[in-house]
Amino acid sequence: MDHRRKRNAEGAGPLAQAGEVSRRAMVAGTVAMTAVAAVLPLADTAYAENAEGPDADMMAFLLLSEALTGVSRQTLAPELVESKNKSDILNSDPGVDPINIKDEYFAWIKANDATSSFGKLLQIAKDNHQSLANIVPSVNDSADDMKFLARSIVLLWYLGSWYKPDDLKNKIAKPQVVSPKAYTQGLVWQIAGAHPMGYSNLQFGYWSRDPRDPNRPALFDPAKT
């Protein structure tokens, strides 16, 4: 596939997209200005090719993240509105939620992708957007740089911390918490039925009771393994 093809939909350029985000931001009620910058299309990069639409890169990121983390894309992007046509999933609206951690992560990975592997991982998600189960096998078959970046991405979602792919390759643990907000959005806590230490929305005495709520399925139920 030719990743160097120029973006062909002029109308969906940076300005139009920024306007789109602003409108959604108002709808959502709150969003940092940085969010606008965070979802600008990746023009002039190896992964600028996206004939599918203005949010195709973000949608590819969500599909990739869902496959790698095992957590549904609706949880990763709570305001996601999917395209009605399943085959057109890359044209969905990823939405803007009040926390919007996906944009922060996307921008962070883009800025810290030292081996130009991010675009290639997104391309795997795009190529498999109608066969999502193939994403993980394709990542496992990919080059080392891509595999270790994939691990960094999962750690980012799980812990809110950036483990450099190169450090992972060398079995070094030197994480950097991306932001205070990122720490509070770490998924591993929810996966374990808990909450980030120091960040809970629960009420007095909840710890005496089982966290599994039959009316609200948790991200994961240990009893079902």
Partner 1 sequence: MADTCITCDVAIVGSGFAGSLIANQLSKKGIKVVILEAGPGIQPNINDAMARFYAASAKVPESPYPPDLADDPATVRVGRPTALTLSQSTWQNTSVAYLDQNTDDPNRKTRPFKSTYERLAGGTSHWMGLTPRLVPNDFQMKKAYGAGQPDFPFLDWPISYDTVSPWYEKAEAELGVSADADEQRFAGITFSTPNYAYPMPRIPPSLFDQRVGKAVAQLTEAETQFLGTAAPVTGLRVRSLPAARNSQPYRNRRACAGNTSCIPICPIQAKYDATITLNEATNNGVQLIDHAVASELLVENGSISGINYIKYDEKSGSRVDCAIKAKVYVVAANGIETPRLLLMSRNQIATGIANSSDMVGRNLMDHPQYLTWGLLPDPVFPYRGPLVTSAIGDLCDGAFRSQRAAFRISLGNEAWSATVGGTGGDPQTTTLDFINGLNASGLNKKDFTQLADNSALFGVDLTKTLGGLISRQFRIAFSVEQSPDPDNRVTLSSVKDALNLPRPRIAYDISDYTKRGIVTAFRMKELIFSKLGAIDFTKVAETDPGKFNVDGIEVPLTYGGAGHIMGTYRMGDDPKTSVVNSWLQSHDHPNLYLVGSGTFPSVGTANPTLTLSALALRTTDKIVDVLPSYQ
Catalog residues that contact partner 1 under the rule CB under 8 A. 67-71, 136, 139-140, 147, 150-151, 154-155, 158-159, 161, 163, 168, 171, 173-177, 179-181, 183-184, 188-189, 191-195, 197-200, 202-211, 219-223, 225
Residue 177 forms beta bridges with which residues? 161
Q: How far is the CB of 100 from partner 1 (least distance, A)?
A: 17
The residue ranges of DSSP E strands in the chain, in sequence order, are 161-162, 176-177
Whose Cβ is closer to partner 1: residue 21's or residue 124's? 124
Whose Cβ is closer to partner 1: residue 40's or residue 188's? 188
| β-strands 161-162, 176-177 pairing | antiparallel
End-to-end CA distance of the chain: 40
Q: How far is the CB of 209 from partner 1 (least distance, A)?
A: 8
Whose Cβ is closer to partner 1: residue 116's or residue 200's? 200
Q: How far is the CB of 27 from partner 1 (least distance, A)?
A: 28
Whose Cβ is closer to partner 1: residue 68's or residue 90's? 68
Whose Cβ is closer to partner 1: residue 11's or residue 198's? 198
CB 169 within 8 A of CB 195: no
Q: How far is the CB of 8 from partner 1 (least distance, A)?
A: 33
Whose Cβ is closer to partner 1: residue 7's or residue 181's? 181
Q: How far is the CB of 218 from partner 1 (least distance, A)?
A: 8
Output 103-106 pairs: Cβ under 8 A, ≥24 positions apart.
103/34, 103/35, 103/38, 103/39, 103/58, 104/34, 104/38, 104/178, 104/179, 104/181, 104/182, 105/61, 105/153, 105/156, 105/157, 105/178, 105/182, 106/38, 106/39, 106/57, 106/58, 106/61
Q: How far is the CB of 197 from partner 1 (least distance, A)?
A: 5
